[in-house]
Structure 1
Amino acid sequence: MDAREINKAMAAHGVWKVRLREAIESGHSEYQPQTVARDRECEFGKWLHSIPVTERPAEFWDRIRELHTIFHQEAGKILALALDGEQEEALTLVGDLRGRFVTTSIELTNALQAWKQVSH
């Protein structure tokens, strides 16, 4: 596996946290919630799904795909709330340390780190 792709994924998904907070503050975004909610729209998602089935590391691929899907679904939900003027609820979801968005973000980062460690 390509550790550079994993590094890019971690960085790109960290940027989403910033984008979501900016959308919450401004009520605007260049992104559409329905697009953000799809895990195959980002570069990492495209790369992840392009890995041939025979080359997908069983101990990581399924879990990372699942977490990546949830991450995007939650990000899309938060963005929709932000754009609908529900800033308070969106802010709660993006900042709740026990919430699905934050816990999934942490789990995804940890899973990507573990995958990267064995890919060296």
Structure 2
Amino acid sequence: MDAREINKAMAAHGVWKVRLREAIESGQSEYQPQVVARDRECEFGKWLHSIPAGERPPEFWNKVQELHVCFHQEAGRILSLALSGEQEEALSLVGDLRGRFVTTSIELTNVLQAWKQVST
């Protein structure tokens, strides 16, 4: 287990919040919603799924994988709304503290932090 991969994942997924807000403001993005929605497209997703099954700590890997999928699905949905001119709805989803995107993002970060602590 590489703590650097977890650090990179947390940073990269934090950047998505900025990218989504920029897409909402401009109505444009260099990214395609259907690609963003796939959890295996980002570097962390590739790394996560490359861990051999026997080396995946189930107390962390399963939850991280589930949250990572949800994060990407929500990011893709928000980006799709932003690019289709539905800025108000997209902005409400990215900023709703009780919404799925925000709560998933927070929970993913928390589980990644816990995984990192036991692996170092």
The TM-score, its normalising length taken from structure 2, stands at: 1.00
Give the aligned partner of residue 75 of structure 2: 75
The 4+ residue runs of structure 1 with deviation greater than 2 A are: none
Distance 2:54 2:77 in 1: 33
Give the aligned partner of residue 5 of structure 1: 5
Aligned ranges 1:27-106 → 2 under 5 Å = 27-106=27-106
Give 5+ residue unaligned stretches, structure 1.
Answer: none
- Residue 80 of structure 1 and its aligned partner are, at CA, apart by 0.1
Give 5+ residue unaligned stretches, structure 2.
Answer: none
SS of equivalent residue, structure 2 residue 106? helix
Distance 1:55 1:62 in 2: 12
Which amino acid is the alignment partner of residue 71 of structure 1? F
- Residue 11 of structure 1 and its aligned partner are, at CA, apart by 0.1
Residues paired across the two proteins, number: 120
Give the aligned partner of residue 112 of structure 1: 112
Q: RMSD between aligned alpha carbons?
A: 0.2
After superposition, the C-alpha distances for 1:58-100 in whole angstroms (9 at most, x for unaligned) are 1100000000000000000000000000000000000000000
- Residue 39 of structure 1 and its aligned partner are, at CA, apart by 0.1
SS of equivalent residue, structure 2 residue 54? helix
